[in-house]
């Protein structure tokens, strides 16, 4: 016999035996776990709208008496109007939550059984089981774990990825591994990784780091220790006789923290002695000294804090192919504005590095062992452009089924080259490349501007965001006498490029419009064919600088060709890059009714139908021209309609006109300044009004 008991004003059938009811304390704990998951992860980190998330609400018509713990839909749930059908029919995710249970334990297996029962009733091809720390995605038909690009999912994902998973499994219910090249995809999404960094920041509050740079290197060095094991496992060379990251703890709650420290010390010492990890010794040794001390230097981090850091970084697995500039994310989290300036570079945000690299390499879709090429960043900083280049090419080869063993070897050893004047930046670049998949072999700490390159030192692609400002080195050209660093790098890039090959360089507005650089621009048009010039928003590199920057794409001509190019230049103005146009560059997150970005022209996205879409800049590349209309309309970051010209082909005739001084600014042609003149009568009237106002003020005084 069963009785009806009312819970939260809703009827639910439960067994009559009181002993079979879940303990109240456990239910409260689970409710707290789900609440934190919703607010701290789904809403704050993954930007899923709160009202599109429902937890612990009975949808008896769909699942019977057993309520699903957590549901995410395309539509907001109206608790007054009870739009159950609309909410349920547009679900993108469903999860069962078990507070603090062991993965694959009894409670976890019970949650899987509930998921297998409820998911089909909710018309979802998959479900999620979570304990608040780990979240695993399961195929509702095969019961297997779902992977993204071969990697198991261990965290909740953005609504884009949830939508993508639903779409792919609806088309192929037997699919367990989802291959995707969407720009926003990552094994550990950047938002989730940032959540982990916030948790690290809480631990770091009690650690007396000398500065944030030490904190950054400690974090990245610690992360690298986990990845070294992951890399050897992937390559099939893990040696059972050696100590690894996973050997440093048995993950029991009461496992002594001093044992973890001792094991990590032995692990670091082992890695430092092996030549294949030689280039990372500096970073590893910083971690070693911080946790174990050295000579008279006492440990900086307590044993308990080491254990906390170890367990948190262990929860980030897998890191291989993480899908974003990992060092950059750590750098953004921990570096102060002063330290960012002290790094001597304008840090290039990941979505800029990604789209610029993708556009430069857009013709490299297939691996051809008979046509190899080399890519250089001569001012690589921490390697943002190079890591994005690695991902772009690897994804392209995978998509065209040409990612062979030879292709992997080419990407890892022969394709990417990085140069930076700072040795510590090269260490970071190598590790960043190492973490993204490899390709760290050809990185060198030298001064690009003073090195004498040989005749064979030429590249097929060059992409860089060079330092800007006055330097001590003269540019290698007789056209202009300048020691501005960006001018020096522009001519160095041209000299390092093979004839007929392509480059992308970021330059400030002065180079493209200032009268003192007129001859430089003419020389550039003679030496190269400029394909495109893209105007970046004023705050693209805030808070490091508000200098207006432009991405210039060009192909180098043979020296025998000295005439100015004939083909027009495609110019485009990026007004919105997904972040507020201010010093505080927070995400604006505005979407249209198909889930496309309203305030982001750079990033890819997933439609409400679960289809992958490229960003606006890529969609419009080299073809968008609104010259025949009065402009393009879009929605500004505050939600208002805005209309201006954004893109078009500018003829060389317009550029070479005497009055323009070879100006290469997109704004000059797409949005020319129109002064608002007034008549003499209007001026006289304004003066009269001012005089009258002055008299009134004098009378009051």
Q: Averaged over 591-614, what is the pLDDT?
A: 78
The DSSP 8-state label assigned to residue 51 in this structure reads: G
**pLDDT band with cut points at 50, 70 and 90 for residue 331:** confident
- Is the pLDDT at 462 greater than 50? The verdict is yes
Looking at per-residue pLDDT, the higher value among 113 and 432 belongs to: 113
Looking at per-residue pLDDT, the higher value among 188 and 306 belongs to: 306
**pLDDT band with cut points at 50, 70 and 90 for residue 636:** confident
- Is the pLDDT at 150 greater than 80? The verdict is no
**pLDDT band with cut points at 50, 70 and 90 for residue 340:** low
- Is the pLDDT at 700 greater than 80? The verdict is no
Candidate from 104-118, 169-183, 264-278, 281-295 with smallest mean pLDDT: 169-183
Nearest CA among 219, 212, 155 for reference residue 187: 155
% of the chain surpassing 70 pLDDT: 88
Q: What 3-state DSSP class applies to 134? A: coil
DSSP 599-655: SBSS--EE-TTS-EE--HHHHHTTT---TTTT-EEEE-TTS-EEEE--EEEE-HHHH
- Is the pLDDT at 186 greater than 60? The verdict is no
User: What pLDDT shows up at residue 339?
Assistant: 56
Cα 291 from Cα 159, distance rounded (Å):
39
User: What pLDDT shows up at residue 639?
Assistant: 72
Candidate from 58-67, 166-175, 182-191, 406-415 with smallest mean pLDDT: 182-191
Q: Averaged over 574-598, what is the pLDDT?
A: 76
Candidate from 229-238, 343-352, 656-665 with smallest mean pLDDT: 343-352
Over the stretch 436-452, which tens digit does the pLDDT of each residue have? Answer: 777 778 999 999 999 98
Over the stretch 200-233, which tens digit does the pLDDT of each residue have? Answer: 988 999 999 988 888 988 998 898 899 888 888 8
What average pLDDT does the chain have?
84
- Is the pLDDT at 94 greater than 50? The verdict is yes
Q: Averaged over 348-356, what is the pLDDT?
A: 86
Place of tokens 């890059």: 577
Could you tell me the domains of the chain? 2-180 (3.90.1570.30), 205-314 (no CATH), 344-582+652-670 (3.40.50.150)
91 vs 73, 85, 111, 209, CA distance in Å? 4, 10, 19, 46
- Is the pLDDT at 479 greater than 80? The verdict is yes
Q: What is the 3-state secondary structure (H, E, C) of 552-590?
A: EEEEECCCCCCCCCCCCEEEEECCCECECCCCCCCECCC
């Amino acid at each position: 016999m069963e009785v009806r008991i009312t819970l939260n004003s809703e009827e639910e059938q439960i067994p009559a035996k009181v002993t079979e009811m879940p303990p109240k304390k456990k239910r409260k704990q689970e409710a707290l776990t789900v609440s934190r998951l919703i607010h701290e992860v789904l809403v704050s980190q993954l930007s899923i709208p709160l009202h599109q998330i429902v937890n612990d609400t009975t949808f008896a018509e769909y699942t019977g008496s057993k309520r699903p713990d957590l549901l995410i839909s395309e539509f907001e749930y109206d608790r007054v109007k009870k739009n159950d059908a609309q909410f349920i029919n547009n679900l993108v995710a469903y999860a069962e939550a078990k507070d603090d249970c062991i993965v694959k334990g009894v409670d976890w297996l019970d949650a899987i059984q509930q998921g297998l029962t409820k998911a089909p009733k909710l018309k979802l091809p998959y479900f999620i089981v979570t304990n608040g720390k780990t979240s695993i995605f399961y195929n509702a038909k095969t019961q297997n774990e779902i992977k993204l690009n071969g990697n198991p999912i261990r965290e909740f994902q953005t609504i884009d990825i949830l939508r993508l998973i639903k779409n792919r499994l609806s088309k192929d219910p037997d699919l367990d591994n989802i291959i995707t090249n969407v720009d926003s995809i990552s094994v550990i999404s950047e938002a989730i990784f940032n959540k982990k960094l916030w948790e690290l920041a809480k631990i770091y509050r009690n650690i007396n780091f000398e500065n944030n740079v030490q904190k950054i290197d400690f974090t990245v060095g610690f992360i690298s220790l986990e990845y070294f094991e992951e890399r050897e496992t992937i390559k099939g060379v893990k040696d059972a006789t050696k100590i690894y990251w996973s050997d440093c703890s048995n993950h029991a709650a009461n496992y002594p923290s001093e044992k973890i420290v001792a094991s990590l010390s032995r692990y670091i010492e082992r890695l430092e002695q092996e030549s294949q990890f030689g280039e990372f010794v500096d970073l590893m040794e910083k971690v070693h000294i911080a946790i174990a001390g050295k000579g008279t230097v006492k440990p900086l981090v307590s044993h308990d804090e080491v254990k906390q850091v170890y367990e948190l970084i262990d929860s980030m697995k897998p890191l291989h192919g993480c899908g974003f500039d990992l060092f950059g994310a750590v750098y953004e989290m921990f570096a102060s504005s002063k330290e960012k300036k002290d790094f001597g570079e304008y840090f290039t945000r990941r979505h800029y590095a990604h789209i610029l690299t993708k556009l430069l390499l857009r013709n490299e879709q297939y691996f051809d062992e008979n046509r190899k090429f080399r890519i250089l960043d001569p001012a690589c900083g921490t390697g943002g452009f190079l890591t994005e280049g690695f991902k772009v090419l690897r994804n392209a080869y995978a998509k065209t089924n040409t990612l062979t063993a030879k292709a992997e070897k080419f990407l890892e050893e022969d394709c990417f080259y990085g140069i930076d004047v700072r040795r510590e930046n090269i260490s970071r670049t190598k590790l960043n490349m190492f973490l993204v998949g490899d390709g760290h072999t050809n990185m060198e700490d030298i001064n690009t501007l003073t090195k004498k390159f040989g005749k064979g030192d030429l590249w097929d692609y060059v992409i860089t965001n060079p330092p800007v400002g006055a330097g001590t080195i003269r540019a290698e050209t007789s056209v202009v006498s300048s020691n501005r660093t960006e001018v020096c790098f522009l001519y160095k890039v041209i000299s390092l490029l093979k004839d007929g090959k392509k480059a992308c360089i970021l330059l400030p507005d002065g180079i493209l419009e200032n009268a003192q650089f007129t001859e430089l621009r003419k020389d550039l048009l003679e030496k190269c064919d400029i394909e495109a010039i893209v105007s970046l928003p004023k705050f693209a590199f805030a808070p490091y600088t508000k200098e207006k920057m432009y991405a210039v794409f060009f192909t180098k001509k043979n020296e025998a060709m000295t005439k100015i190019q004939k083909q027009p230049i495609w110019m485009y103005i990026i007004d919105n890059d997904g972040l507020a146009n201010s010093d505080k560059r927070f995400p604006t997150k505005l979407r249209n009714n198909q889930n496309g970005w309203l305030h982001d022209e750079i990033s890819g996205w997933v439609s409400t139908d679960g289809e992958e879409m490229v960003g606006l800049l890529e969609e419009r590349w080299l073809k968008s021209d609104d010259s025949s209309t009065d402009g393009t309309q879009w929605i500004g970051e505050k939600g208002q309609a805005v209309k201006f010209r954004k893109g078009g082909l500018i003829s060389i005739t317009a550029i070479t006109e005497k009055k323009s001084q070879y100006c290469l600014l997109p704004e000059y042609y797409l949005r020319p300044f129109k002064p608002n003149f007034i008549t003499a009568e209007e001026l006289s009237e304004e003066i009269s009004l001012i005089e009258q106002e002055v008299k009134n003020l004098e009378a009051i005084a």
